[in-house]
């Protein structure tokens, strides 16, 4: 099998979907904390293969959780996706950036009120 290529499509209703391009049916796993996730589906379509990964409830908890998609034949990573939920993870740069944006928006509103008042 040639190297498979994975393109993310969507993450909706607790199911992550991606388009796999490969010459034959790829053998892939979705892993969380080093363990294979159950229920992963690969179905053929016009562009190759549709990969569907149901997200288990354990990933819907506080913090940042990363799922990696693996090519089992080559033992190489094809891609990944993250789930961020609940309380912000301390030290997570995305959380810090979002807090800074919120503070900046608040300051903008105060300055506008002062200029118009």
What is the total count of domains within the chain? 2
Q: What is the 3-state secondary structure (H, E, C) of the chain?
A: CCCCEEEEEEEECCEEEEEEECCCCCCEEEEECCEECCCCEEEEECCEEEEEEECCHHHCCCEEEEEEEEECCCCEEEEEEEEEECCCCCCCHHHHHHHHHHHHHHHHHHHHHHHHC
* Tens-place pLDDT, residues 33-68: 889 999 999 999 999 999 999 999 988 888 888 899
- Residue 76: pLDDT band (50, 70, 90) is confident
Which pLDDT value is given to residue 1? 47
Same domain, 21 and 75: yes
Average pLDDT over residues 10-32: 93
What domain range is 12 assigned to? Answer: 5-86
Same domain, 11 and 61: yes
Same domain, 95 and 116: yes
Which pLDDT value is given to residue 20? 95
CATH number, domain at 14?
A: 2.60.40
Same domain, 40 and 80: yes
Which pLDDT value is given to residue 84? 84
Same domain, 27 and 71: yes
Same domain, 93 and 79: no
Same domain, 66 and 10: yes
Same domain, 25 and 79: yes
Same domain, 92 and 80: no
* Tens-place pLDDT, residues 82-113: 888 887 666 667 767 766 887 887 788 778 88
Whole-structure pTM value = 0.72
Same domain, 52 and 96: no
Same domain, 48 and 64: yes
């Amino acid at each position: 099998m040639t190297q498979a290529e994975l393109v993310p499509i969507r993450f909706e209703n607790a199911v992550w979907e991606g388009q796999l391009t490969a010459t034959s049916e790829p053998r892939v796993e979705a892993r969380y904390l080093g363990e294979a996730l159950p229920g992963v589906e690969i179905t053929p379509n016009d562009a190759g293969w549709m990969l569907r990964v149901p997200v288990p409830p354990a990933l819907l908890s506080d913090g940042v959780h990363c799922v990696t998609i693996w090519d089992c034949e080559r033992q190489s990573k094809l891609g990944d996706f993250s789930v961020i939920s609940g309380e912000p993870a301390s030290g997570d740069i995305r959380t810090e950036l979002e807090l800074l944006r919120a503070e900046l928006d608040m300051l903008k509103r105060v300055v506008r009120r002062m200029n118009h008042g």
